[in-house]
Amino acid sequence: MHPHLGNAILPQAFLLFLLAKPAARWFGYNPVEDLLANIALIYQCIQQEQDGEKDISQLLAAYVSRDFNSFTSTLSKINEFFKSQPTQPCPPSVYHQLLDNAYTNCIGPHLERLKVETNKAWSPEVFGELDPKFLEKIFEQANLDSRSIFLDLGSGVGNAVVLASTMKGCTAYGIEIRTVASVLASRLLQELRKKASLFNIPVGPAQVVQGDMLNDQRVQDWIKKADLILINNEVFGPTLNLALEPILLHTKVGARIVSLQRLLRGKTRATIKGPFAVVDGLYANDDTSWKNNGEVEVVVAVAVEVEVKVKVEVKVEVEVEAKVEEERVT
């Protein structure tokens, strides 16, 4: 668990929080609401929600009545209170709220640009997202920590990459074919880093690149090192899903692959083409932005065991051929 809310950072927290650009106004963004939400977030961290409700109510009343002096004095009192509090561990809800705030600032104003035409609704370029709570679940199942490497193939605006690097402090990579989405992902990562620094949350190294996952050498290198690979392939289609199989052969032993559509046929594939053991599971309603229920596969690579099996099969075949040849000679 990361340490949070260092006293040296808290006094400046509300001055340093970057508000959304004017382009976000049409999206319904309200900077005062953002401020109040972040105050409530800090109260969660220091486990003083009841005091927070009272102070936030005072701030809200001052805002509604346009009493600037009351608003600033209450805010100063809140900051002084935060300065006096010891460091507290950060609950998962804080990570989700930080991501939501950063998303509102960086992605919200551009949602229309991310939409695709109706005739592309189920193409590999479609924009779809996974719920942060679902991502948290698969991170926990994979035992991600600061030493782990996470890879998102088809990373969209980078939600999973950003959350993994923030919540688990791990190294996280993502690749996205759409230029608009990959650019926004870089902005989202930059924004969340700024917000995380205000809570003294260490963020692991993270990168989202634009490119074709089938032909990018960086993907080949990342797959060899990754402990968890996420493939949000609900709309990839059979051609792309099939093309991914040979790339995933380089997955290291013990790594997990989580996909939303079956990449491998059968419960196990003890062949040189598919060295994976497959464990099926269900994801809950609203875990994705495009459907209410479905199946998630957690695939654990067992390449070493498969390699041994293939060698034994070849040896047996050679021995049979030798025996047949010996009978012919005699």
pLDDT band for position 194 (cuts 50, 70, 90): confident
**Overall average pLDDT of the 228-257 stretch:** 80
Dist. CA 157–CA 151, nearest whole Å: 14
Residue 72: φ, ψ to 5°: -70, -35
**Overall average pLDDT of the 261-274 stretch:** 45
Dist. CA 319–CA 322, nearest whole Å: 5
The angle at the Cα of 137, spanning 282 to 115, to the nearest 5 degrees, equals 75
Dist. CA 58–CA 214, nearest whole Å: 55
Q: What is the pLDDT of residue 119?
A: 38
pLDDT band for position 165 (cuts 50, 70, 90): very high
- Over residues 140-155, the pLDDT tens digits come to 988 999 999 999 998 9
Q: What is the pLDDT of residue 77?
A: 87
Considering only residues 82 and 182, tell me which one the structure prediction assigns the higher pLDDT: 182
Q: Say whether pLDDT at 224 is over 50.
A: yes
Q: Name the residue type at position 251.
A: T
Q: In 74-205, which ranges are E strands?
A: 149-153, 171-176
**Overall average pLDDT of the 256-283 stretch:** 54
Q: Residue 266 has what DSSP assignment?
A: S
Residues in CB range of 73: below 8 A, 6 or more apart: none
Dist. CA 151–CA 259, nearest whole Å: 12
pLDDT band for position 21 (cuts 50, 70, 90): low
Mean pLDDT of the chain: 71
Considering only residues 38 and 274, tell me which one the structure prediction assigns the higher pLDDT: 38
- CA dist list (Å): 242 to 213, 238, 245: 13, 6, 6
Q: Are strands 171-176 and 206-210 parallel, antiparallel or unpaired?
A: parallel
Burial class of residue 301 (count of CB atoms within 10 Å of its CB; 0-12, 13-18, 19+): buried
Considering only residues 326 and 289, tell me which one the structure prediction assigns the higher pLDDT: 326
pTM over 0.85: no
